[in-house]
Amino acid sequence: MKRRQFIKSAVAGSGMVLAGLAAPRAISSQSRSADSRIDILLNEPIGRIAPEIYGHFAEHLGGVVYGGIWVGEDSKVPNVGGIRKALVEALRRVKPSIVRWPGGCFADSYNWRDGVGPRSQRPRRTNFWRDAPEWPKDAPDGPWKYDTNQFGTNEFLRFCRLSGAQPYLAANVRSLTARDFYEWVEYCNSPAGTTTLSDLRAAGGERDPFKVRYWGVGNESWGCGGNFTPEEYAAEYRRFTEWVPNYGVEPAFIGAGPNSGDIDWTRRFFTKMNERRALGRMWGWALHHYSWNVSGGRTTDWRQGKGDALKYPTDEWYELLHEAERMESLLTDHWSVMGETDRQHRVKLVVDEWGAWYRPGTEAHNTHLLGQQSTMRDAALAALTLNMFNRHADKVAMANVAQLINCLQSLFLANEDKFVTTPTFHVFEMYAAHQGGQSVRTLCSAPRPSYSRNGQPATIRGLSESASLADRQLVLTVTNPEATQPRLAEIAIRGASVKSIKAMVLAAQDFHAHNSFETPHSVEPAETKIAAPRAGTLVHEFAPASVTRLQIALE
């Protein structure tokens, strides 16, 4: 069967048959036997899937804020008080639990005072990213290089409210003081009329406190956030969190954790904090992991190792997903090191930056520093990463894909009044069904796709899956990373029988497929209804390079 025909039948007929029973539809998979198997163990709960795992990140970087979120009240682009209307409407569809702001590296250069008070009086400041070598050619000056501070705390909080997200603010540890930090908390959370800062907030139109709960204590403190040693950062962390007013909102402090596999950073920080009995002052430990090196081990150079967002050979498809798969061992490795000192595991993992990072060249506009296109490969990467977070729901309390719009692994691309959703957006919309569900254990065996890694044979995980249960509704999401092969899988649900099934499939005829301003609907999921099985094991054919969600109502 040709790939084109296969995808048509997999999506239209949804590829579901029942082993051992009369087949509900005639599809090609009936003549083959399953090569994969997924067991869903309903009686083995892992933990509640925190909605915050489905979080976002917006930094004052290139076209994320200025031109992406913020267009200004006088703009011809439809807006709600200066905020892009189309973005708010689309973002609501993915149930954005949380948005992290204002950075990123930018956070450690940002003075929150610049972004409050009358907009006309706010200062212009040089943006942290002004001198980045990645700027597209001829990028003009503008608020992305010289921040006009038109988008500040009140505007961000309004954006969160409009979108239905909670705010997560990242404080400046490198270049401001602990006092500046707790005064930002005071500005946001002190009750109306109680402090000069609450009056300032009210003068900006926000009488009632914002009740911000999540506070990041710096960002990448091992690098742009101060180039600290773990011991130095532990001292800063304690200074910043030793006294912070609590206005009836228990602050959830998040420490700036490791770069990918830097176990040493985690161990030394936790050890130092434990010596001062200060671990109780931390809610989350933030890990960052980007998938960027597609060189197959040829180089570890940050620029040389990157590939193109749109033009990639099959081996690069696999290699990038292989990079993303590292997330699983990062979660378990850091978790076990955290447990050496935090034996009760009170501190949870927060992956507040993750996603694919390509070399420049596919940005939708020349103001979009680090802007890149997002294809079916990014959809697969997002889906298998979210599956890992779901499978580790006992460890991961929050995650934020980097970044929301016009940047790395974005859900949206926008320029002036043009606006499009990417395949990553569709994955988030499909996976929103997991939010708040009970993650249950799954066992999956599937052939591992093989490829050539720098001339050597290599493989990655076959099907990637996760399952959650809420009110007798089971959600199973599965990514098939096989670039050209479908996978026929038996799916056994242990502990219940099935009432009805709905399937949603995101797949494309070409694994480079993406949406653009000109072709906004090239990649879109298709939903189908499937006859409820009466007994036996489900058999489902997963399309090549696809993401599938099965919503299974249980008896």
Q: Which residues are catalytic?
A: 220, 353
Contact 292, 357 (CB under 8 A): yes
What are phi and psi for residue 363, nearest 5 degrees?
-65, 145
Strand order in the sheet with 464-470: 16-19, 537-542, 487-494, 36-48, 438-445, 464-470, 473-480, 546-554, 498-506, 526-530
Query: Nearest distance from residue 339's CB to ligand AHR, in Å?
Result: 26
Residue number, nearest CB to ligand AHR: 104
Stretch that binds ligand AHR, among 18-26, 102-110, 332-340, 517-525 (CB under 6 A): 102-110
Distance of CA 531 to the CA centre of its chain: 33
Place of tokens 């103001």: 367
Tell me which of 402, 405, 420, 550 binds ligand AHR, using CB under 6 A.
402
Residue 342 engages ligand AHR in binding (rule: CB under 6 A):
no
Residue 103 engages ligand AHR in binding (rule: CB under 6 A):
yes
Stretch that binds ligand AHR, among 103-111, 131-139, 411-419, 424-432 (CB under 6 A): 103-111
Query: Nearest distance from residue 499's CB to ligand AHR, in Å?
Result: 43
Tell me the C-alpha distance between 24 and 40, whole Å.
22
Query: Nearest distance from residue 325's CB to ligand AHR, in Å?
Result: 20
Tell me which of 86, 91, 105, 139 binds ligand AHR, using CB under 6 A.
105
Stretch that binds ligand AHR, among 33-41, 97-105, 235-243, 338-346 (CB under 6 A): 97-105
DSSP label at 405? B
Residue 329 C-beta-side C-alpha neighbours within 13 Å: 9
Task: For the chain, give the number of residues.
Answer: 555
Residue 219 engages ligand AHR in binding (rule: CB under 6 A):
yes
Query: Nearest distance from residue 158's CB to ligand AHR, in Å?
Result: 23
Query: Nearest distance from residue 17's CB to ligand AHR, in Å?
Result: 44
- Is the CB of 82 or the CB of 143 nearer to ligand AHR? 143
Tell me which of 108, 147, 183, 353 binds ligand AHR, using CB under 6 A.
353
Tell me the C-alpha distance between 412 and 464, whole Å.
25
Tell me the C-alpha distance between 272 and 404, whole Å.
34
Six-digit token pair at 231? 């011991």
**Mask of contacts with ligand AHR, 279-308, x by CB under 6 A?**
------------------------------
- Is the CB of 97 or the CB of 219 nearer to ligand AHR? 219
Residue 147 engages ligand AHR in binding (rule: CB under 6 A):
no
Query: Nearest distance from residue 426's CB to ligand AHR, in Å?
Result: 22
Show contacts with ligand AHR in window 43-72 (CB under 6 A): 59
Residue 403 engages ligand AHR in binding (rule: CB under 6 A):
yes
Six-digit token pair at 116? 């409050």
Residue 104 engages ligand AHR in binding (rule: CB under 6 A):
yes
3-class SS shares of the chain: helix, strand, coil, % to 5: 30, 30, 45
Query: Nearest distance from residue 149's CB to ligand AHR, in Å?
Result: 18
Tell me the C-alpha distance between 334 and 258, whole Å.
9
Nearest to 319 by CA among 454, 178, 139, 162: 454
Tell me which of 220, 323, 429, 490 binds ligand AHR, using CB under 6 A.
220
- Is the CB of 103 or the CB of 307 nearer to ligand AHR? 103
Tell me the C-alpha distance between 381 and 349, whole Å.
20
Query: Nearest distance from residue 54's CB to ligand AHR, in Å?
Result: 18
3 state SS for 423-480: HHHHHHHHHHHHCCCEEEEEEEECCCCEEEECCEEEECCCCEEEEEEECCEEEEEEEE
* Burial bucket for residue 37 (CB in 10 Å: 0-12, 13-18, 19+): middle
Count of chain residues binding ligand AHR (CB under 6 A) = 10
Stretch that binds ligand AHR, among 75-83, 186-194, 391-399, 400-408 (CB under 6 A): 400-408
Name the site residues for ligand AHR (rule: CB under 6 A): 59, 103-105, 219-220, 353, 402-403, 408
